């Protein structure tokens, strides 16, 4: 039996499995909620314990934590009771397993996991090849979100369904029931499903997108991550099927369906959740699941506060990674030496975990549970070079391991501690400095370095790679650039995260440029991508120079055609961090427009608009009929400046190029004015 879906209802767990005949069967298992309680002094709270015993099942017990065993109580009640206990003891009580998902606890304690066979051994979770006996379909709704009020057209596996709304939905549900898929890939599902669910209730139709016709609602929420506001949309999760919003799922876009299924196997969570949770939540859930499998209790609140430090100790603490800032310019024959999953590798190699701070005599929990995940990443990284089908698996592992570092310093991390976070930074900095010294001893020139990788010029890269791995004990990867361009920041210094270059296989690698940014209008993105395609043909700076006129002609073409561009290609997409603005700007105007149409925008949500008048900040969020030519001209010129920088090898050339482009722009403007008149 292959586990497809799992979730909890009250004091039971529902598991959907596919049997050997391909039939889907639901199993319901009674599994009551319980949590662990440890008190500093039982006698002080004897009345509270008696009151709990009078209402709930209470058992004295001993349970494991990462710091060692604790004596206390197992109380068969839910989170609300635990919070009342916490409040009554004025936070002196230590509570465990309070907010662990019931289905995850059931899976962990029984040694089973989703997207795998019931009899499959736990060690197989860390294998890159696993059985996927799923029937997958695609579904798409045509409409003007977020303003749509009706379902006018649906496409299922390429088959178009049209007609009156009730008839359309009836045909849709009939078709899905007939196909009986296990997985539905549906762009913008988390928007359209609310409308589809409400309409099916209005018309009295059984919604077969869920095998039972019922849905569980995942509430939307705004949250902050790495200094940015994000928003997780509310979602209607079907029972017995997997529904993936292919447009808005970060994990799906990075790792595909295989990555979602692997994350489910690793975390003990339904694919419906792993498709929607952040990589940070996935690594946290993985650690929780590993703890449950080891019968280690999961803390409700983080209680291992930061140790007291003197001023000198605070000054010495490492709070960030190491960066060698590049000089803006174009470089030929450059190697990029990259440490594979550097920070999780440090955790494993140096045995870093909350309970091993100041006491490394035993194997730490974090180091122990991250090691098999790290080994799997090293394996998928090798496999994807031979077979692209492993790319999704490697990607989801990469993102989970990247976030495990930040999670160690997160204030609410179940298994985090700030001293671990600081130790990782300190060791990482020393490793990068050591790598720099080794490189320079082999006569390499350091072009740029950031946290876990270096860009270098020189010969004998194989010797450098060997020595670095021998002396640091960490795995590395090497990329070769025929040429690479580091763009300047506003102050003229080289940017450490905005560059592009031609790899040895002829592909162009882009980071931080307009074509990579989500808020870049499609018209401008297309121009820049065409230009990068031209640049990919140049193997060195000399050949880049020969492409100059071709690129200028492309720029002139897009500049000339801008006025006649389709406004829909000039839509700007912005993720907003706040809903109140003190100054006038495009985002503030867009929010007012959304509000007029009764659409509630929350921090972290993405808004779309076309700028109609940048002087008055008038924007259009619906019709997209007009646009501010001068405003979009500046955006186009800015994207072009990222390309034209590659030609600027001297101040004289800079001035000549600037004057030439100034004349081009004046000429184009005169032509436009003439055209308008």
Cα angle 452, 457, 458; round to 5: 115
Write phi, then psi, for 318 (nearest 5 degrees). Answer: -90, 120
User: What mean pLDDT do residues 180-192 have?
Assistant: 96
Residue 153 to residue 171: CA distance in whole angstroms: 11
User: What mean pLDDT do residues 178-191 have?
Assistant: 96
Residue 36 tokens read as 């662990």
Q: How confident is the model at residue 414 (pLDDT cuts 50, 70, 90)?
A: confident
Q: How confident is the model at residue 675 (pLDDT cuts 50, 70, 90)?
A: very low
Question: CA–CA distance from 11 to each of 28, 78, 585 (Å)?
Answer: 10, 10, 51
pLDDT in tens, 492-531: 889 989 999 999 999 999 999 999 999 999 999 999 999 9
* Residue 601 near residue 591 (C-beta atoms within 8 A): yes
Question: CA–CA distance from 635 to each of 92, 488, 510, 515 (Å)?
Answer: 57, 17, 18, 12
In 3D, which of 397, 17, 500, 524 has the Cα closest to residue 240? Answer: 17
Tokens 């997207």 correspond to 115
Residue 479 to residue 456: CA distance in whole angstroms: 11
Residues listed for the chain = 677
- The whole-number pLDDT of residue 319 equals 59
Of the listed ranges 300-304, 434-438, 508-512, the one predicted with least confidence: 300-304
Q: How confident is the model at residue 145 (pLDDT cuts 50, 70, 90)?
A: confident
Residue 11 to residue 13: CA distance in whole angstroms: 7
The proportion of the chain whose per-residue pLDDT surpasses 70, expressed as a percent, equals 92
pLDDT at residue 657 above 80?
A: no
DSSP states of 557-597: HHHHHGGGS-GGGG-EEEE-S-S--SS--HHHHHHHHHHHT
pLDDT at residue 243 above 90?
A: yes
Query: Can you tell me whether residue 278 is helix, strand or coil?
Result: coil
Question: CA–CA distance from 42 to each of 73, 301, 420 (Å)?
Answer: 10, 20, 32
Q: What is the DSSP letter of 638?
A: H
pLDDT at residue 136 above 80?
A: yes
In 3D, which of 226, 223, 222, 221 has the Cα closest to residue 409? Answer: 226
Residue 353 to residue 368: CA distance in whole angstroms: 9
pLDDT in tens, 605-622: 999 999 999 999 999 999
CATH code assigned to 122-293 = 3.30.420.10
In 3D, which of 626, 634, 658 has the Cα closest to residue 559? Answer: 634
Write phi, then psi, for 225 (nearest 5 degrees). Answer: -145, 125
Q: How confident is the model at residue 669 (pLDDT cuts 50, 70, 90)?
A: very low
Residue 285 to residue 292: CA distance in whole angstroms: 10
The proportion of the chain whose per-residue pLDDT surpasses 90, expressed as a percent, equals 80
Top-confidence residue, 668 or 177:
177
Computed over every residue of the chain, the mean pLDDT equals: 91
pLDDT at residue 320 above 80?
A: no
- The whole-number pLDDT of residue 146 equals 83
Strand partners, 38: 94
**C-alpha 249 chain-centroid distance:** 8
Top-confidence residue, 664 or 626:
626
pLDDT at residue 659 above 60?
A: no
Residue 334 burial by Cβ neighbours in a 10 Å radius (0-12, 13-18, 19+): buried
- The whole-number pLDDT of residue 321 equals 72
170-195 core/surface letters (b: 16 or more CB in 10 A; e: else) = bbbbebbeeeebbbbbbbbbbbbbbb
| CATH architecture classification, 2-110 | 2-Layer Sandwich (3.30)
Residue 177 tokens read as 């029931």
pLDDT at residue 4 above 60?
A: yes
Residue 466 tokens read as 């060997």
Neighbours of 209 (CB within 10 A): 24
- The whole-number pLDDT of residue 409 equals 64
CATH code assigned to 559-676 = 1.10.132
Gap between the terminal Cα atoms of the chain: 73
**548-561 and 629-644 helices cross at what angle (nearest 10)?**
170
Top-confidence residue, 178 or 675:
178
pLDDT in tens, 50-107: 999 999 999 999 999 999 999 999 999 999 999 999 999 999 999 999 999 999 999 9
User: What mean pLDDT do residues 283-293 have?
Assistant: 96
Residue 420 tokens read as 């671990």
Contacts (Cβ under 8 Å, ≥6 apart) of 564: none
Strand partners, 63: 70
pLDDT at residue 662 above 60?
A: no
Contacts (Cβ under 8 Å, ≥6 apart) of 631: 611, 614
Helices assigned H by DSSP within 73-222: 79-88, 102-110, 165-179, 189-203
Give me the sign of the Cα torsion angle 196, 201, 205, 209: positive
226-254 core/surface letters (b: 16 or more CB in 10 A; e: else) = eeebbbbbebbbbbbbbbbbbebbebbee
- Topology agreement, domain 122-293 and domain 331-512: no
Residue 466 to residue 478: CA distance in whole angstroms: 11
Write phi, then psi, for 511 (nearest 5 degrees). Answer: -145, 125
Q: How confident is the model at residue 244 (pLDDT cuts 50, 70, 90)?
A: very high
- The whole-number pLDDT of residue 671 equals 45
**C-alpha 539 chain-centroid distance:** 34
Q: How many helices (H) and strands (E) does the chain have?
A: 20, 26
Question: CA–CA distance from 275 to each of 1, 115, 186, 271, 626 (Å)?
Answer: 23, 13, 12, 6, 37
pLDDT at residue 408 above 80?
A: no
Helices assigned H by DSSP within 294-364: 311-316, 342-349
User: What mean pLDDT do residues 636-640 have?
Assistant: 97
Contacts (Cβ under 8 Å, ≥6 apart) of 186: 138, 139, 140, 141, 192, 193, 243, 244, 245, 246
- The whole-number pLDDT of residue 315 equals 60
- The whole-number pLDDT of residue 665 equals 53
pLDDT in tens, 28-40: 999 999 999 999 9
Residue 668 to residue 674: CA distance in whole angstroms: 10
Ordered by start, the domain boundaries in the chain are 2-110, 122-293, 331-512, 559-676
Residue 634 tokens read as 């500046």
Q: How confident is the model at residue 204 (pLDDT cuts 50, 70, 90)?
A: very high
* Residue 472 near residue 501 (C-beta atoms within 8 A): no
User: What mean pLDDT do residues 183-198 have?
Assistant: 96
Helices assigned H by DSSP within 350-417: 365-386, 391-408
List strands edge to edge, sheet with 153-156: 159-162, 153-156, 136-142, 183-185, 242-244
Q: CATH homologous superfamily of domain 331-512?
A: B family DNA polymerase, palm domain (3.90.1600.10)
User: What mean pLDDT do residues 419-433 have?
Assistant: 90
* Residue 576 near residue 605 (C-beta atoms within 8 A): yes
pLDDT at residue 651 above 70?
A: no
């Amino acid at each position: 039996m292959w586990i497809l879906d799992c979730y909890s209802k009250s004091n039971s767990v529902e598991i959907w499995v596919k049997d050997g005949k391909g039939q889907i069967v639901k199993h319901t298992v009674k599994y009551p909620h319980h949590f662990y309680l440890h008190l500093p002094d039982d006698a002080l709270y004897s009345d509270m314990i008696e009151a709990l015993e009078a209402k709930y099942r209470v058992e004295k017990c001993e349970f494991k934590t990462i710091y060692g065993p604790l004596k206390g109580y197992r109380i068969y009640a839910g989170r609300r009771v635990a919070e009342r206990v916490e409040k009554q003891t004025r936070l002196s009580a230590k509570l465990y397993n309070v907010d662990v998902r019931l289905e995850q606890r059931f899976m962990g304690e029984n040694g089973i996991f989703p997207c795998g066979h019931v009899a499959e051994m736990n060690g197989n979770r860390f294998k890159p090849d696993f059985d996927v006996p799923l029937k997958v379909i695609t579904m798409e709704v045509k409409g003007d979100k977020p303003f749509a009020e009706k379902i006018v057209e649906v496409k299922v596996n390429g088959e178009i369904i049209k007609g009156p709304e009730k008839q359309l939905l009836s045909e849709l549900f009939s078709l899905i029931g007939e196909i009986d898929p296990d997985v539905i890939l549906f762009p913008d599902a988390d928007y359209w499903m609310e409308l589809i669910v409400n309409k099916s209730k209005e018309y009295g139709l059984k919604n077969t997108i869920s095998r039972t016709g019922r849905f569980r609602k995942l509430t939307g929420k705004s949250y902050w991550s790495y200094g940015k506001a994000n928003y997780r949309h509310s979602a209607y999760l079907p029972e017995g099927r997997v529904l993936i919003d292919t447009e808005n799922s970060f994990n799906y876009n990075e790792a595909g369906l295989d990555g979602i299924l692997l994350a489910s196997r690793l975390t003990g969570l339904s694919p419906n959740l792993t498709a929607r949770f952040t990589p940070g939540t996935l690594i946290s859930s993985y650690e929780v699941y590993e703890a449950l499998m080891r019968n280690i209790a999961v803390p409700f609140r983080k209680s291992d506060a930061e140790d007291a430090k003197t001023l000198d100790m605070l000054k010495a603490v490492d709070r960030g990674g190491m960066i060698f800032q590049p000089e803006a310019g174009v470089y030929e024959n450059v190697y990029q030496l990259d440490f594979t999953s550097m920070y999780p590798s440090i955790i494993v190699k140096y045995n870093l975990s909350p309970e091993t701070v100041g006491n490394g005599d035993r194997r730490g929990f974090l180091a122990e549970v991250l090691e098999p995940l790290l080994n799997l990443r090293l394996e998928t990284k090798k496999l994807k070079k031979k077979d692209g089908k492993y790319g999704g698996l490697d990607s989801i592992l990469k993102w989970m391991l990247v976030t495990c570092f930040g999670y160690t310093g997160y204030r609410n991390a179940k298994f985090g501690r700030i001293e671990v976070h600081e130790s990782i930074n300190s060791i990482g900095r020393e490793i990068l400095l050591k790598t720099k010294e080794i490189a320079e001893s082999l006569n390499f020139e350091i072009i740029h370095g950031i946290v876990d990788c270096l860009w270098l010029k020189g010969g004998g890269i194989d010797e450098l790679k060997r020595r670095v791995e021998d002396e640091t004990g960490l795995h590395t990867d090497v990329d070769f650039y025929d040429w690479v361009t580091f763009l300047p920041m506003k102050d003229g210094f080289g940017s450490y995260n905005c560059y592009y270059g031609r790899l040895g296989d002829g592909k162009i690698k882009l980071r931080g440029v307009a074509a990579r940014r989500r808020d870049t209008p499609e018209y401008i993105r297309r121009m820049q991508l065409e230009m990068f395609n031209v640049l990919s043909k140049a193997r060195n700076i000399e050949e880049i120079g020969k492409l100059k006129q071709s690129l200028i002609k492309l720029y002139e073409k897009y500049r000339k055609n801008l006025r006649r561009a389709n406004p829909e290609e000039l839509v700007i997409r912005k993720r907003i961090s706040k809903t109140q603005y003190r100054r006038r700007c495009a985002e503030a105007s867009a929010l007012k427009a959304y509000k007029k149409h009764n659409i509630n925008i929350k921090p972290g949500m993405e808004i779309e608009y076309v700028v109609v008048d940048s002087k008055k900040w008038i924007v259009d969020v619906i019709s997209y009929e007009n646009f501010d030519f001068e405003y979009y001209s500046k955006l186009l010129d800015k994207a072009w400046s990222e390309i034209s920088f590659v030609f600027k090898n001297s101040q004289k050339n800079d001035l000549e190029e600037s004057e030439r482009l100034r004349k081009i722009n004046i000429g184009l403007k005169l032509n436009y004015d003439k055209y308008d008149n």
